[in-house]
Structure 1
Amino acid sequence: MLEGCVSWPDELAEQYRRQGYWQERSLGELLEAACAEHATKVAIVYGEQRLTYADLAARSDLVARQFVARGIGPLDRVVVQLPNVPEFATVVFALFRLGAIPVLALPGHRKHELVHLASQSGAVALIVMSEFRGFDYRQLAQEVQQDVPGVEHVLIANELADSAPETRYPQVDPSEPAFFLLSGGTTGRPKLIPRTHNDYAYNMLAAADALRVDSTSTYLAVNPVAHNAALGCPGLFGTLLVGGKVVLAPTSRLAELIGLIRAEQVTLTTLVPGTVRLWIDYAQRTPVDLSGVHLQIGSSKLTPVQAEEAREFLHCDLSQWFGVGEGLLTYTRLDDPDEVRFNTEGRPMAPDDEIRVVDDAGRDVPDNVEGELLTRGPYTIRGYYRAEQENTDSFTSDGFFRTGDLVRRRPDGNIVVVGRLKDVINRAGDKVPVEDLEEQLMAHPGVRDAAVVGVEDAVLGERTYAFVVLRDQSVELQALKVFLRDRGLATYKIPDKLVSVSELPRTPVGKADKVALRALAAFTPPGASRQAA
């Protein structure tokens, strides 16, 4: 395997091949086969553009030849920073065909993040749009190239149209990395997650099977397709592998999407709970009918109340998913009762996903007891790229990935995500699980959204700040504290300060931006008022 990557033990790799998890076919090969089988069908819709599978194959071939002409080949790392546009599919498909490794940056990344990604990955090229939504990505890429000498090429995806000599593609080893995802979180620099052709092919096809996605399905890509969920769970490429249609959404606003959803007969989309809440709010003002559309919801906690409201006001089906870019996916099955769908994140996707829930000392805990989720399996990585110290911290000696997520495993095998270890506020020695407190706040009918952060305090160690977006502006913040007490919350879990905001700041993938909220907390004046209590 590429130097700097950690491979599965030989005996385990052989087991995964024997059991059929790994097909020993590269992603480029699998996509080529799908394009040949469904050549005349529409593959991608973006605005007025409608690309057939034959168009997709031809465009990616042209782009691949451009890369070869510039000397880009197997195992070369290429930072790809593209939004939800057809060029994303053609560029990444072309790199898959060559065995080159896309490093998937998000559209919101800027020089600081891109310099880190290019340096850490050893990238030889950076691919961007010339401009998108008023931002000059060409200039940004040139600035990154000046700071990272190894970046030999800056390529503009929407200008890769010149002819180039035909070429024979190299033989690609499916056990090598197909691309690098970025580790999640809102603090620190992202780590590089090497997903192989073998493990991610299973990831995509198993997710498609779980959601019954096939050649008759239409997937609406609302989240950034550079992010794991919309990339391959089943997302863009998982849908293409089974011959479905992908619609690249220009926005996440339901008011602007409803016509597109109806016209393209969308059957599936992936949303974060924050977007679900906005869709529900819209539907309460303007009735909509999304029957026939399945909402795949993940990334953060969806409360049972929100799940019921989604069913009531959007008239749609839904399932909850929990996943990490490093691999493991759990989900509620389509035939699960509502009690399971609304209250859990479901069960692991693969029969050979190994799950442990452990205490601070690494000891397994019984069902219904909170602990850290550890996992290993046929599509969960064994280590980050070029990250020896992080691998020591994040993986056990026998290969289990420490997710950093606090969960409970119910006796029926379903997982309930409680929060993140690093999102547990240590308030005078008492532990306040952030996601649990957020869920309690959003149980109040007057609260539309909530995010909780810990703020350093000289006396308590950390103080608890809760930022809320109110549905009803007449709600008094002090009344929310009474509401929490009446629900039986421990006194140490009651927020030290409640702050009313019009909207929560968001990261590029739609999560509440805790870094921005901590910065806001630093400027929140002391004392109680309707805006801060």
Structure 2
Amino acid sequence: MSENATPAILTGQPLEKLDHYASVMEIFHASVARFGGKPAFSCMGRVMSYTELDRLSGHFAAWLQQETSLQPGDRIAIQLPNLLQFPVAVFGALRAGMVVVNTNPLYTEREMANQFRDAGVRAIVILANMADKLERILERTDIRHVVVTELGDLHPFPKRQVINAVVKHVKKLVPPFSLPEATGFRRALSTGAAQSHREVSQGPDDIAALQYTGGTTGQAKGAMLTHRNLVANMLQARQAIGPALTEGAETIIAPLPVYHIYTFTVNCLFMMETGNHSVLIPNPRDLDAFVKTLARVPFTGFIGLNTLFNALCSREDFRRLDFSRLHLTISGGMALTRASAKRWEEVTGCQVAEGYGLTETSPIVSFNPVDAIQLGTIGIPVAGTEVKVVDADGLDAPYDTVGELYVRGPQVMKGYWCHDDETAMVIDEQGWFRTGDIAVIQPDGYIRIVDRKKDMILVSGFNVYPNEIEDVVATHPGVVESAVVGVPDAVSGEAIKLFVVSRDERLDTETLRAWCRKGLAGYKVPRFVEFRDELPKTNVGKVLRRQLRDEEIEKSR
């Protein structure tokens, strides 16, 4: 059999030290011991060292253990943007033996309630800016303990009061709310400081986080990421990215949301493991403030995605920055275009290394070696990881053959929380995870993604699933049926377009978009709406989204 006919099953290099650590917290304590006084995280000019992170997370762990009814294994939602409170709350919760449920701060009440009920969340740490939403859904959840924090809570006096006053009274970003049983984040820390906490013994198979994803069906499910999954991916990142870093010496910009698995693993975990400093950007959409932060920070690394690279490179103030220290730029979350990568390199002098991953794989599956980047590919498998392509007949495919990408390795999730049937659909008896992405393995071992999950839409790096939007639209009394597809967009990669068959002639675009805003995060609201007399369907009546999508692609050419 010729090489081209041989099934292409790639295996990354051996993964080192996986059995050295039983849990994320073992790595945390090792990093604190090694890097104590060095900066771990900073935000809005406030720097937190590893020693301080250890102390404050210990205080929060003590509060959870001594002042609440929570037990190890209970789920605690962390609904925060990129603030110093995030790593304090996450590591405090893990030290108390809890399961972290990362929650998008942009969620609507409906989305929050669905996730909290599904996960059986018993406690939450939430930013005051969205506490009014929690108030309205609290009785529909099992949440018994609420911790509310304000934007400036971990800044020193008087800056703390100034930040919180401006946010609340000048910018009016904190809607009124009433949660009389809630505890302020600062109070929880001060109460915990007067008490002791006990480190909870955790094993590799214990769940560390429930990371919600639409999976391959669009129905939100919690990927059970164990301590072994996250430890493995930290160590895999070390072997893939580590050669480009100097331990304890890097300053890495973290503009993408840390509740997302990409930044959660790379910045909150991997950069912590290597003793480096992550600069948390609370609102990267405020490009004026973002660039001013970059001008003040001598950054050596940047974690971003295609749309952000484009937006920054279009700004004159960004192009004037000093990039002399920048030697690592990582792209993930959405496809990196050659044009964006080349423009970033022209502006900054730094190449972009693209990686690939999924929520269900903690997330990193493959990465471009920083000294051998191939634009247009997602690199090679990280250590301890096997990948293959399976063709339409279910057979392992040879090199240069299009098929579905399968992954096997220690970073593959334990399964979907309370959805054994969904787990069985994506993980086979041999442990292979079906990504749903269509790929090609090149003879040189690099992987190319040639298509995405069948119906998923990628808006500025956020996964959007048509089923969810269509479910909300279907509740409008004037809608007969609808279909949602992604259409090409130069800014966000894709934009959402809604096709509607209506029974009400007065129904218009803005009415439907307003309806969607009531139940969907802003990035899920359709940008375009087209009314039709009927939608294309299969013989059995299933709407042909692909036909609609192909029509839109053809129009854009």
Q: TM-score range by the shorter chain?
A: 0.7 to 0.9
> Are residues 1:34 and 2:34 paired?
no
Q: CA 1:334/1:362 → structure 2, altered by over 3 Å: closer, same or farther?
A: same
Q: CA 1:268/1:97 → structure 2, altered by over 3 Å: closer, same or farther?
A: same
Q: Which residue matches 1:415?
A: 447
Q: Which residue matches 1:240?
A: 272
Q: Which residue matches 1:181?
A: 211
> Are residues 1:154 and 2:154 paired?
no
Q: Which residue matches 2:220?
A: 190
Checking the alignment, whether the CA contact within 8 Å between 2:436 and 2:453 is kept in structure 1 is: yes
Task: For residues 338-374 of structure 1, give each alpha carbon's deviation from its aligned partner in whole angstroms, at most 9, with x where no partner exists.
Answer: xx1x121101111x31212112232122211211101
> Are residues 1:317 and 2:351 paired?
yes
What secondary structure, in the 3-state scheme, does the structure 2 residue paired with 1:162 have? helix
Q: Which residue matches 2:411?
A: 379
Q: Which has the higher contact order (CA 8 A, sep 6+)?
A: 2
- What percentage of residue pairs aligned between the two structures are identical? 24
What secondary structure, in the 3-state scheme, does the structure 2 residue paired with 1:522 have? strand
Task: For residues 190-228 of structure 1, give each alpha carbon's deviation from its aligned partner in whole angstroms, at most 9, with x where no partner exists.
Answer: 211111112211212331342233211112110000111
Match of 2:108 among 99, 110, 113: 110
The count of corresponding residues between Structure 1 and Structure 2 is: 438
The normalised TM-score by structure 2 is 0.71
Checking the alignment, whether the CA contact within 8 Å between 1:291 and 1:316 is kept in structure 2 is: no
Q: Using the alignment, how far apart are the partners of 1:345 and 1:50 within structure 2?
A: 34
Paired letter, 2:429: S
Checking the alignment, whether the CA contact within 8 Å between 2:252 and 2:299 is kept in structure 1 is: yes
Structure 1 segment 480-499 matched on structure 2, within 5 A: none
Q: Which residue matches 2:131?
A: 138
What secondary structure, in the 3-state scheme, does the structure 2 residue paired with 1:320 have? strand
Checking the alignment, whether the CA contact within 8 Å between 1:183 and 1:192 is kept in structure 2 is: yes
Checking the alignment, whether the CA contact within 8 Å between 1:98 and 1:172 is kept in structure 2 is: no
Structure 1 segment 370-519 matched on structure 2, within 5 A: 370-423=402-455, 466-469=487-490, 516-517=525-526
What secondary structure, in the 3-state scheme, does the structure 2 residue paired with 1:380 have? coil
Task: For residues 416-473 of structure 1, give each alpha carbon's deviation from its aligned partner in whole angstroms, at most 9, with x where no partner exists.
Answer: 011213149xxxxxxxxx99xx9xxxxxxxxxxxx9x9999xxxx99987444489xx
Q: Using the alignment, how far apart are the partners of 1:122 and 1:462 within structure 2?
A: 31
Match of 2:528 among 520, 523, 526: 520
Q: CA 1:416/1:18 → structure 2, altered by over 3 Å: closer, same or farther?
A: closer
Q: Using the alignment, how far apart are the partners of 2:274 and 2:484 within structure 1?
A: 50
Q: Which residue matches 2:369?
A: 333
How much does 1:260 deviate? 2.8
Deviates more, 1:279-288 or 1:365-374: 279-288
Task: For residues 31-56 of structure 1, give each alpha carbon's deviation from its aligned partner in whole angstroms, at most 9, with x where no partner exists.
Answer: 12222322222222111322121211
What secondary structure, in the 3-state scheme, does the structure 1 residue paired with 2:191 have? coil
> Are residues 1:228 and 2:221 paired?
no
Checking the alignment, whether the CA contact within 8 Å between 1:183 and 1:325 is kept in structure 2 is: yes
What secondary structure, in the 3-state scheme, does the structure 2 residue paired with 1:316 have? coil
How much does 1:187 deviate? 7.8
Match of 1:163 among 169, 185, 191: 191
How much does 1:25 deviate? 2.6
Gaps of 5+ in 1: 1-15, 132-136, 425-433, 439-450, 472-506
RMSD: 3.6
Paired letter, 2:46: Q
Paired letter, 2:432: F
Q: Which residue matches 2:336?
A: 302
Task: For residues 100-142 of structure 1, give each alpha carbon's deviation from its aligned partner in whole angstroms, at most 9, with x where no partner exists.
Answer: 10111111112212212221112211221222xxxxx222223
Paired letter, 2:344: A
Q: CA 1:211/1:141 → structure 2, altered by over 3 Å: closer, same or farther?
A: same
What secondary structure, in the 3-state scheme, does the structure 2 residue paired with 1:404 have? strand
Q: Which residue matches 2:64?
A: 67
Paired letter, 2:276: G
Paired letter, 1:172: Q
Checking the alignment, whether the CA contact within 8 Å between 2:331 and 2:353 is kept in structure 1 is: yes
Checking the alignment, whether the CA contact within 8 Å between 1:288 and 1:313 is kept in structure 2 is: no
Paired letter, 1:154: V
Paired letter, 1:203: N
Gaps of 5+ in 2: 1-12, 150-184, 471-481, 493-516, 534-550
Q: CA 1:90/1:389 → structure 2, altered by over 3 Å: closer, same or farther?
A: same
Q: Which residue matches 1:353?
A: 385
How much does 1:168 deviate? 2.1
Checking the alignment, whether the CA contact within 8 Å between 2:122 and 2:143 is kept in structure 1 is: yes
Q: Which residue matches 2:90?
A: 92
